[in-house]
Structures are given as structure tokens and as C-alpha cells.
Structure 1
Amino acid sequence: MLTIDNVSLKGINRPRLSNVGLSLDSGKLIGLIGPNGAGKSSLLKAIAGVEAASGKLLWNRQSLSAMNDNERANTLSYMAQDDTPQWDLTIEDIIDIGLLKKRLSRSERQRRVETTSETLNLSEFTGHSIQRLSRGELQRVLLARALVSEPELLLCDEPTNALDIYHQLNVLQLLKKQSEQGRLVMMAIHDIPQAAEYCDELVLLDKGRLVCHGQPFEVLTKENLAATFGIHADWICNKRGVAWQPRPL
């Protein structure tokens, strides 16, 4: 379980996070939604320890800030938004970075890298420099780097960004499967229908504050969408999936 207790993060003109409090159970895919500047990325950075926030962040009642580097690496992985490695490395090298803090044999490291690469349809790029990849291909490599350590807590900032629709769905299904294996997966996502279809719970943020947390149907009300996004939306839900028809107020 992840406990977020009164977490705040300073900003230039206003707090990026303001007294956010949540309790999130393992075994769930959690979608962070909200307009630009809502605090989605800031919350993920605070949990990952990339930025120091006030308040308490507990993983199974243990303070994340009190963990040493090895403990943190064995607990969580963080995929940043639009990360662009500057090194001229192969995709295998980049994925293997996710195992730096793991005490594994060379054969086990290789097995994990190969398996994770196959899972994200990256095998065709074996041996390729990351400098030769498109943004969408690099996005999948960075997700593989976060997944390869098999973390208990997986934090992904817009993991479907720059991906075509096939790979978007593949990634969402993969993250869903990760949660079904008992992990807590949190992702910032802008596609509201995809968030509604794949996530067990949604966290709606606006201007650094928590607006609502619950199942998609509890969060994506016309009132919440109007207040945070400034839109009116009609929902279409059937066995084939979820869609919506948004329009400005």
C-alpha cells in the first residue's frame, strides 16, 4: 500500500502540489488525470524521490524518503516524461540500467533484458543504438528499463506518449497485467477514454490539489469534468469499450 499524507511541493507562482492525501492499494492500475499543470508529473516525481516534497510518503508503512538507494531501487521504478538519454548506447544497455542495483547473475540479467524487450516488441532493434530510434520506439525502451527490475511500485509519466494506437493499447494491456500480478502501477495519462477503460481507479488533480479519487464512473462525472477541464462530455459505454464526446462549455 502507498500512503500519501499531506504532500505538498512548492512552485514558482503557486504550489505544484498542495496537501494531497491518498491511500492506494497494491494490485491496481491507477490513472492520474487532470488538465495541464494539474500536478500529475509532480506527484510522480515526489513519490519517486526525484523532487523533495513535504508531508509523508509511505510504502507498506515504511517511509520512502528513509530508504537507501538499494531499498528504493528494489521497491520502485520511475519512467519520466520525455526522458532523452544522451549516451550512444544500445537498447539492451539502456534496459540493463534498470538492473544496476540488483544482485543478479549475468545470465539472469540477460534473460530479463531479453524477455522485457520481447514484451514491448523491441526485439527487432537488438543491437541498435538508441540514437537511431524514433521517439515512440525510445518511449518503449524507457518503459522496458522501468519494468525490467520487476518493481513493487511502478510509476509512469505518460507512458503512451508518442506511441501509435497499436503500441498504446499494448502498453496499457501490459501495465494492466503488471497490476494484476500484485504490483501498484501509477500512470499519468491524458486519454480519458483509455484511462476509464483500463484503470481500476482514477486520481483527478487540478492546480496541485486532489479533486476526486475513486473508480472511473465516480471520478468522471459531468460536474468534475466541467470544473477541472472546462468541458461537457457525453459517455458511450458498451462491450466494445469506452468513448466520449467532449465539447467546450
Structure 2
Amino acid sequence: MLTIENGSLKGVTRPRLNNITLSIDSGKLVGLIGPNGAGKSSLLKAIAGIEPASGRFSWNQQLLSAMKDTERANTLSYMAQDDIPQWDMTMADIIDIGLLKRRISRSERQRRIDNVCATLNLSEFNGHSIQRLSRGELQRVLLARALVAEPELLLCDEPTNALDIYHQLNVLQLLKKQSEQGRLVIMAIHDIPQAAEYCDELILLDKGELVCHGQPFEVLTKANLAETFGVHADWICNKRGVAWQPRPL
């Protein structure tokens, strides 16, 4: 279980996070939603320990900030938004970075890299320089780097960004499967219908404040969407999926 108590992060004109308090059980895919500047990336960075946030961030009642490097690496992985490496490395070398703090054999390391590449349709790029990859291909490599550690807590900042619709769905299904295996997966996502369809829970943020946390139908109310996004939305739900028709207020 992830527990956040009074999580706050300073900003220039207002707090990027303001006294966020919530608890999330393992075994769930949780979507972070909200307008631009709502605090989605800031919350992920605060949980991962990348930003110096105040408050308590605990995993199974243990402070994440108190964990040793190896224990922390065994617990969580973080995929940043638009984390484009500026150096020339092979795809496998980039993915292997996700295992730097892992004490595993060379054969186990290679097995994990091969498995995650196959899962994300990356095997054909084995040995390729990342400079030769498209933005969408690189996005999948960065997700593979986070997944290869097989963490208990997986934090992803817009993992479907720059992906075509096929690979968007493939990634969402993969993250859903990760949660079904007992992991907690938290992702920032802009596509509201995809969030409604795939996520077990949603966290709605606005201006660094927690607006609502619950199941999609509890969070995506017309009142919440009007207040945070400034839109009126009509929902379409059937056996083939979820869609919406938003209109500016």
C-alpha cells in the first residue's frame, strides 16, 4: 500500500502540491488526471523522491525516503515524461540502466531484458542505437527500462505519449496486467476515456490540490469535469469501450 500524508511541494507562485493525503492499495492501475499544471508530474516525482517534497510518503508503512538505495530499487521504478537521452547508447544498454541497483545474475539480467523487449515489440531493435529510433519507439524503450526491474510500485508519467493507437492500447493492457499481478501502477494520463476504461481508480488533481480519488464513475462526474477542465461531457459506454463528447462550458 502507498500512503501519502500531507504531501506538499513548493512552486513559484503557488504550491505545486498542497497537502495531498491519500492511500492506494497494491494490485491496482491508478490514473492521475487533471488539466495542465494540475500537479500530476509533481506528484509522481515526489513519490519517487526526485523532488524534495514535504510530508510522508510510505510504502507498506515504511518511509520511502528512509530506504537504502538497493531496497528502493527493489521497490519502485519511475518513468519520466519526455526523458530523451542525449548520449548514444544501444537500446539494450538503456534498458539495462533499470537494473543498475539489482543484485541479479548476468543470465537473469539478459532474460529480463529479452522478455520486456518481446512484450513491448522491441526485439527487432536489439543492438540498435537509440539515435535511430523514432520518438514512439524510444518511448517504449523508456517504459521497458522501468518495467525490467519488476518493481512493486511502478510510476509512469504519460507512458502512452507519442505512441500510435495500437501501441497505446498495448501499453495500457500491459500496465493493467502488471497491476493484476499484484503491483501498484500509477500513471499520468491525458486521455480521459482510456483512463475510464483501463484504470481501477483515478486521482483528479487541480492546481496542486486533490479534487477527488475513487473509481472512475465517482471521479468523472459532470461537476468535477466542469470545475477542473471547464468542459461539459456526455459519456458513451457500451461493450466496445468508453468514449466521451466534451464541449467547452
TM-score in terms of structure 1 length: 0.99
**How large is the Cα RMSD of the aligned pairs?**
0.4
Corresponding residue for 2:222?
222
The alignment status of 1:3 with 2:25, answered yes or no, reads: no
C-alpha deviations, 1:77-97, integer Å up to 9, x for none? 000000011221110011111
- Which residue is 1:204 aligned to? 204
Aligned to 2:15: 15
Aligned length: 249
The answer on 1:120 being equivalent to 2:108 is no
Residue equivalent to 2:81:
81
Q: Structure 2 CA distance, aligned partners of 1:70 and 1:50?
A: 16
**Stretch deviating more after TM superposition (212-221 or 85-94):** 85-94
Q: What SS does the aligned partner of 1:65 have?
A: helix
Residue 80 (structure 2) pairs with residue 42 (structure 1): no
Please state whether the residue corresponding to 1:72 is helix, strand or coil.
Answer: helix
1:192 aligns with 2:198: no
CA distance in 2, matches of 1:60, 1:122: 34
Match of 2:108 in 1: 108
Deviations along 1:135-191, one digit per CA (max 9) or x if unpaired, are 110000000000000000000000000000000000000000000000000000000
TM-score of the superposed pair, with normalisation by structure 2: 0.99
What residue number does 2:163 align with? 163
* Identity %, equivalent residues: 85
CA distance in 1, matches of 2:141, 2:212: 32
Deviation of the 1:69 alpha carbon? 1.1
Q: Residue 69 of structure 2 corresponds to which residue in structure 1?
A: 69
Q: Where has structure 1 moved over 3 Å in runs of 4 or more?
A: none
Instruction: Tell me the secondary structure at the aligned position of residue 128 of structure 2.
Output: coil
1:24-69, Cα deviation, whole Å (9 max, x unpaired): 0000000000000000000000000001100000000000011121
- In 2, distance between residues paired with 1:234 and 1:226? 12
Task: Quote how far apart the aligned CAs of 1:71 are.
Answer: 1.1
**What code does the residue aligned with 2:73 have?**
A
Matched, 1:25 2:41: no
The gaps in structure 1 that reach 5 residues or longer are none
In 2, Cα distance between the equivalents of 1:104 and 1:62?
Answer: 24
SS at match of 2:142: helix
| 2:108 matches 1:135 | no
- Secondary structure at the aligned position of 1:162 is classed as coil
- Structure 2: 5+ residue runs without aligned partners? none
* Partner-residue secondary structure (3-state), 1:86: coil
Counterpart-to-counterpart distance in 1, 2:154 and 2:196: 19
